[in-house]
Structure 1
Amino acid sequence: MAHEYDKLVRDRIPEIIEADGETPVIHAAEGTEYERRLREKLDEEIAEFYEDGRIEELADVLEVVYALCDLKGVSAERLEAIRAEKAEERGGFEERIVLDRVE
């Protein structure tokens, strides 16, 4: 029985499928297709985190973020430096402030 997925998957998924006795039909995404599929994957992983709130889903989100950084030529260390700069300039979320309105 064939199952259609048409989505970006982790590198070892094809071998896991083969180990289950099935045959994956795959291709490598290039250029704009790869970036588009990473963005779709990010949406998918965020939706999964919204659905169940598990920390493993946040790890999946982070994996996609790192892949996007790699695509853009930005290291995880540079991403962290940018995050820290923004936190220094604008703050984080520790105080849980909700802006209701500005009058």
Structure 2
Amino acid sequence: MKYNKLVRDKIPEIIRNKDQIAITHIANDEEYYLKLQEKLKEEVEEFLESNNNDELADILEVIYAICDKKGINKEKLEELRIIKNKKRGGFKNKIILDETK
């Protein structure tokens, strides 16, 4: 079966432990970033379909990998989130914008 997708680091080992062959390659920086974007979409779609908390952890793992690639540590990401929250708010008030006039 062909995949051509980014997988977690231990997946090839897990496949080998099932007496299967994992054919892999190491992505260059450009391909890696593209595959991270694809993986983020995949994980968000899986969460939307399943509403499973494990999928939220997968989304966060991909976000951390993207941050690492972009040179943003977790603390900086949280700082950016707080700044945006102070400027534009969060989603706690459950506000739905119906229209503007």
Fold shared, TM-score > 0.5 on shorter chain: yes
Name segments (4+ residues, structure 1) moved above 3 Å: none
Distance, in Å, in 2 between the alignment partners of 1:85 and 1:55 is: 26
User: Which residue of the other structure, out of 47, 50, 60, is the alignment partner of 1:49?
Assistant: 47
Mind listing any 5+ residue stretches in structure 2 that lack a counterpart? Answer: none
C-alpha separation in 2, matches of 1:31 and 1:71: 9
Aligned to 2:84: 86
Q: Report the equivalent of 1:102.
A: 100
Instruction: State the TM-score, normalizing by the size of structure 2.
Output: 0.98
Distance 1:31 1:87 in 2: 31
Alignment deviations for residues 41-86 of structure 1 (CA, whole Å, 9 cap, x no partner)? 0000000001011110010000000000000000011001100111
1:72 corresponds in structure 2 to: 70
Q: How many percent identity over aligned positions?
A: 49
Residue 26 (structure 1) shift: 0.3
Task: Using the TM superposition, give the Cα deviation of residue 102 of structure 1 relative to its aligned residue in structure 2, in angstroms.
Answer: 1.0
Match of 2:12 in 1: 14
State how many pairs are aligned: 101
In structure 1, what is the Cα distance between the partners aligned to 2:87 and 2:38?
A: 30
Alignment-derived partner of residue 4 in structure 1: 2
SS in 1 for 2:67: helix
Residue 28 of structure 2 is matched in structure 1 by 30
Offset, 1:94: 0.5
How far does the alpha carbon of each residue in 1:2-47 deviate from its partner, in whole angstroms, 9 at most, with x for none? x111100000000000000011000011111000000000000000
Tell me the SS of whatever aligns to 1:88.
helix
Structure 1 alignment gaps of length 5 or more = none
